[in-house]
Structure 1
Amino acid sequence: MGTGKLLEVRLERDRGGVLEFVLRTPGVGPALALVVAIVVFSLTTSTFLAMDNLSLVAEQSLVVATMALGQTLVILTAGIDLANAATTVLATLLMSKLALSEGAGFGALIAGFALAAAIGGIAGTLVTRVKLPPFIVTLGLLTIVTAVGRIYSRGQSVRVTDPVLGFLGTRQFLFGRIEITYGMPLALGMFVLIWYALTRTAWGRHVYAIGNEPEAARLSGIHVPRTVLSVYLLAGLVYGVAAWQALGRVPNADPNAYQTGNLDSITAVVLGGTSLFGGRGSVFGTLVGALIVAVLRSGLTQAGIDDLYQDVATGVLVIAAVAVDRFSRTTRQR
Structure 2
Amino acid sequence: MRTSTSTDRTRPAASPEPASREGRRATQQQRLAAEVNRQRRRRVQRGGAAAIVAVAVAVAGYTLFATGSSASARPSIGGDLHSLVVDPANAERVLVGGHESGAISTDGGRTWQEVSGLKGADPMGWAVDPRDPLKMYVAGHPGFYRSEDGGKSWRQDNTGLPSTDVHGMGIDPADPNVLYAYFTGRGVYRSPDTGRTWQAVNTQVNIMGPVLADPRRSGTLYIAEMQGGFQRSEDGGKSWRPLGAIAGGMAMWVAQDQQAPDTFYAANGRVMKSTDGGTTWQPTGSVPGNVSAVAVSPSSPSILYAGVLDGTRARIFRSDDGGQSWQARN
The TM-score, its normalising length taken from structure 2, stands at 0.22
Report which of the two has the higher share of helix.
Answer: 1
Greater relative contact order (Cα < 8 A, sep 6+): 1
Report which of the two has the higher share of strand.
Answer: 2
